Structure 1
């Protein structure tokens, strides 16, 4: 604690990163009825389309959900465009659909307007929020509480990973997975994350020391890991005021590769089994331009620069859950780098915990 009795810089973010495995356990152990109700809604509706509504970090979780929906259910899934409703006043005609609304607070006005418009169009809504009494929870047909507890740091950490896990459970169940199977896989993620947090702490502290004067970072992933690249970039931007950008490795080849100069940090996420080779190919292209390559995921070397993250031998961890692991080092890096730069990642200048966009 500081002399004034206030928490020291980054104390909330540090604590909230560390408690993630415990919060995931709460989610799995306490939200089974809500998850099963969501799966029943899928069976009743038999949707032809999934629509994700989200903003900020939750939008990155929705991107992960979009890939899961395609791969597990074999149906189209899209990210909503709230401005269609709020700026243009357009009412959409939906095929047989379900909306998954993902929000930490459940109170962003444009998100709520998007959900209301979908309901007017006859679309049932599954909401995933961290507040059972939120407006979004009340609007939904099924509400899954993220069980993350109060998140006091402006930078979302435990709410983001809880969203990833909640989407995984909903869509696995919708695809016909059994609760026992999903619970086993979630436990595998909890065990793996505990090890990753321990290793990533010292890794991030060492790396932050060498990156403290960096003013730009490029992050790339593909498939499930694209959401990690975007969320990791957001964490660095909001806590460090760094010009960080997150991209699909395929898109990054068409332009962002041009921002790589000698010494530019390029963080490559390689957990997603789909598209992993293209991430490595982009990383090598960036290295050829003099970029400083940092690999997080399988085939990292677990040294001062890179961090290997993969399921331990015999683990029940589903590869689709590896994005929950690979964001943890970026959360740690954002924290450690901000402290190195004399900033407080819990209270970034000009930012608020709940951003009410319209």
Structure 2
């Protein structure tokens, strides 16, 4: 493990930017929902008027995981297929896209990654209704979009995205609620800041001991919770230099399960939705093989319970799971001797072509 400039005592007592930003998640969500309601409603109306046959998403990194969450949310709520487009289509290959019947949702913290901007422009030039979810409203991506939305997460100094990831999803869900007229989703979003505050109090510190010296782990989910698992996996790599692979709880059985052995760590994200039983079954099966399985469901057998908030809606229930995970991964990073604010190989804005 690489040497750091902090002693362990210092690294475990200093308050990091990442910690502060995790603690701001409920406030940031409330600020978005209260302050950007007009833009969110306008984007929802634009989607209803466009009535797209397909939606595409444009993003990388944590923003792409937010897009994956929104993919499941859109498909489950309005039944319209959603696909992720590779940014190289425009930036490298110069492809001309035929998107008269499509909507394109771009997600970016900075709004200035060249390949994201290029593909969003290609989609709009091809006829798509263009939405941009950005944390920097004065940016090339926002200026290019038909419907720019400030996700209002506020300044995010830590390299690893946390509150901007959550707010990107909250913004997308709010637009979806307006687009679909889904009263249950609107009600869930209205109480979401309070639910996120409750999620901050959920203690997942049981993960620290088995992961402090781990070399690898699996992170599982299904549907929207798979998007959460994908983000969780990335944060292991970004902040803790810990190899983690995210799988659908169904897909992991097609080969990867072969690597699961006694004490192999597994984190399984299960929301209160129709996929919960599926996740629980696979997680419990791995526990029977001797794996160290941590599961956000009371239904597991031989698993360690990860406390969670039941929000009353399957989409916000899944989203709330990332909050206690963020809290524990920040602690794990420091426990492994790293500074979660400044991963050695990463920058806050990644500008790829």
Partners of 2:178 and 2:148 in 1: how far apart?
15
Question: Are the aligned partners of 1:249 and 1:279 in contact in 2 as well (CA < 8 Å)?
Answer: yes
SS at match of 1:328: helix
Deviations along 1:93-130, whole A, 9 cap, x unmatched?
Answer: 22511111111111111111111111110112011000
- Residue in structure 1 matched with residue 347 of structure 2 by the alignment: 352
Q: Deviation at 1:216? A: 0.7
Partners of 1:205 and 1:249 in 2: how far apart?
23
TM-score, scaled to structure 1: 0.90
| Counterpart among 179, 185, 190 of residue 188 in structure 2 | 185
Q: RMSD of the TM alignment (CA)?
A: 2.3
Matches within 5 A, 1:128-277: 128-177=133-182, 184-200=187-203, 204-271=204-271, 273-277=273-277
| Counterpart among 40, 52, 58 of residue 53 in structure 1 | 58
- Unaligned runs of at least 5 residues, structure 1: none
SS at match of 2:250: helix
Question: Are the aligned partners of 1:51 and 1:100 in contact in 2 as well (CA < 8 Å)?
Answer: yes
Question: Are the aligned partners of 2:17 and 2:158 in contact in 1 as well (CA < 8 Å)?
Answer: yes
Partners of 2:101 and 2:258 in 1: how far apart?
43
Partners of 1:182 and 1:135 in 2: how far apart?
31
The yes-or-no answer on 1:332 pairing with 2:327 is: yes
The yes-or-no answer on 1:343 pairing with 2:346 is: no
Partners of 1:300 and 1:150 in 2: how far apart?
39
How many equivalent pairs are there? 345
Partners of 1:109 and 1:272 in 2: how far apart?
38
Q: Which moved more, 1:226-235 or 1:323-332?
A: 323-332
Partners of 1:305 and 1:297 in 2: how far apart?
9
- Residue in structure 2 matched with residue 24 of structure 1 by the alignment: 29
Deviations along 1:313-358, whole A, 9 cap, x unmatched?
Answer: xxx7422111221111221121111111111011011111111111
TM-score, scaled to structure 2: 0.92
